[in-house]
């Protein structure tokens, strides 16, 4: 099936934008903490955990430490989602699509 020239151009443009968006999301790096900075995590745009820093003061209380690690990771995931949506919104806005479509 052959698409009209304008449609082919739009499809190419959409594919290029998708590739650019994937590259930009891959470069995202966020940091989040819990317990007033007692636990700090870093995460990339694919939501891979890159590092965990733990203040030695909380190392003795295992339950509290576990809770803070979970809280910091959840906050990092939220930050990655927010940055990804922001980048996606900026890219899709340039395509002239109606608001709320994505």
Domain spans in the chain, listed from the N-terminal domain onward: 27-86
Distance CA 70, CA 64 (A): 10
What global pTM score does this model have?
0.71
Residue 1 vs residue 35, higher pLDDT: 35
Level-2 CATH architecture, domain 27-86: 2-Layer Sandwich (3.30)
User: By three-state DSSP, how is residue 46 classified?
Assistant: coil
Task: Give the relative orientation of helices 5-26 and 62-93 as an angle to the nearest 10 degrees.
Answer: 150
Reported as a single tens digit per residue, the pLDDT across 46-97 is: 999 999 999 999 888 999 999 999 999 999 999 999 999 888 887 666 555 5
Reported as a single tens digit per residue, the pLDDT across 25-46 is: 889 999 999 999 999 999 999 9
Residue-level pLDDT at 102: 47
């Amino acid at each position: 099936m052959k698409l009209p020239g304008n449609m082919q151009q739009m499809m190419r443009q959409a594919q290029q934008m998708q590739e650019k968006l994937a590259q930009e999301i891959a470069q995202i790096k966020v940091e989040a903490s819990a317990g007033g900075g007692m636990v700090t995590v870093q995460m990339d745009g694919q939501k891979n955990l890159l590092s965990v820093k733990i203040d030695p003061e909380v190392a003795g209380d295992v339950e509290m430490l576990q809770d803070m690690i979970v809280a910091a990771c959840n906050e990092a995931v939220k930050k990655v989602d927010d940055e990804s949506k922001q980048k996606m919104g900026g890219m899709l806005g340039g395509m002239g699509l109606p608001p709320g479509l994505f």
